[in-house]
Amino acid sequence: MKRKIITVISLILSFTSLFVLLSPSAVALKYSGSDSYRSGPYYEKLCAVERTGDLRTDIVNIARSQVGYFEGSNSSQLSGTVNGTKNYTEYGRWYGMQDMWCAIFVSWCAYAANVSESVVPKHAYTPSGLSWFQNKGQAYSRADVAAGKYTPEPGDIVYFKSSRNNNPTNHVGILVDYSNRTITTVEGNSSLVGIDTNGGAVAEKQHSIDDTYIVYICRPSYEVGPSCPDIMVQIDEYGISGGGVKVRGWCFDKRDNNISLQIHVYIGGPIGDPNAEKHTETVANASRPDVNNVHKCGNNHGYDAVIQTELYKKQPVYVYAYNPETEDTAFISTFTADIPVTKLKKGDINIDCFVDNKDVVELFRYVTKIFDSEADPSYDFNEDGKVNNKDVTMLFRYINSN
């Protein structure tokens, strides 16, 4: 018996998990600029960016495609080739405001990369952007980064503070590299060197993490996946109801509001996570005249569903809108749901929603400490009325045959 137990444990320790890495498909650019912008080289450079679907990669590459762009002096000078002085840019035209534009540039890059505003906020005022990340717990101080408490990644958002005013920040850029305690950024409305909050160009620059004019580095939650900017979304209510995950809100596609979008709910991880449960049965076609009153999109774009799941305990939930005709996806929201345990998966000894070799180890530890008369029947994997090493062996074989 001892030899059998040792054999089982050896098999457990030698078990190797295989992971299949899937490369995201290329995503088409969906941005049409002004006539002036399209006449210049920066629109051509934008179109040449290969969109990967990896949002960190895409926002970095889009930002870098605009390096060298200059602001113009009027609304006809948006090509990026005129060195003007009046804060006129293609990015401001898109935003709807021609003014100091470092935060506008960050927002535009996020939009062009299909990053949802619930991941990188659309903002023109740097203090409001920083406050947004701080409220989500996604802002790390320069001192914390310098001390190694957080390692920046490409696609992070960097907020700076010069002596120009008393605001907590007055400049922002997109981090494109971090190595040897040096951050490399692409910044709008900047100059080629130093910290400049009104330099008039898009520039790629380097800063030491010890430079105190860096105030915060913010980590957006890019893992939620791509988000089509043409799809309008809202979540009004979420949580647990009737033992399942409840979601209620509305969504529609601005390009064709006659289409009823699907609601895709992922429980256990975001889109693309192989361990996440995917639920696609909900359609946003419920009556929502209140949404039509505001957006003039038609009455039937609401959704209200309770999703039943085999998962339990605290699980991340990600909600998306999906257009089945264009195959575009838009991120709606993410939250954590504390799902009640109604029925455990057979063999889930450690109650983590997965049946794997961790359960074998847990069961082995359990059977070495109890007598059959004291055993919890939920541990009786082979259902013979006893809990012993036979259950350990049977569970191990079950896991490795599936």
Same domain, 195 and 128: yes
The reported pTM is 0.62
**What are the tens digits of pLDDT across the range 264-299?**
999 988 888 888 999 999 999 999 999 999 999 999
Same domain, 212 and 232: no
The answer, yes or no, to whether residue 382 has pLDDT greater than 80, is: no
Q: How confident is the model at residue 314 (pLDDT cuts 50, 70, 90)?
A: confident
In a domain, 14, yes or no: no
| Domain end call among 303, 322, 339 | 339
In a domain, 27, yes or no: no
Same domain, 166 and 187: yes
In a domain, 22, yes or no: no
As a whole number of angstroms, the longest Cα–Cα distance in the chain is 86
Same domain, 188 and 244: no
Q: Give the C-alpha separation, 197 to 170, whole Å.
A: 7
The pLDDT of residue 137 is: 85
Number of domains within the chain: 3
Same domain, 82 and 219: yes
Question: Please, what is the average pLDDT of the chain?
Answer: 84
In a domain, 4, yes or no: no
Domain that holds residue 68: 35-223
In a domain, 39, yes or no: yes
In a domain, 314, yes or no: yes
Same domain, 133 and 151: yes
Q: Lowest-pLDDT range, 97-101, 123-127, 334-338? A: 334-338
Q: Look up the CATH number of the domain holding residue 80.
A: 3.90.1720
Q: How confident is the model at residue 228 (pLDDT cuts 50, 70, 90)?
A: confident
C-beta of residue 27 within 8 angstroms of C-beta of residue 226 = yes
| Domain end call among 339, 358, 381 | 339
In a domain, 128, yes or no: yes
**What are the tens digits of pLDDT across the range 154-181?**
999 999 998 777 899 999 999 999 999 9
The answer, yes or no, to whether residue 18 has pLDDT greater than 80, is: no
Same domain, 175 and 238: no
Alpha helices for 202-266 (secondary structure H): none
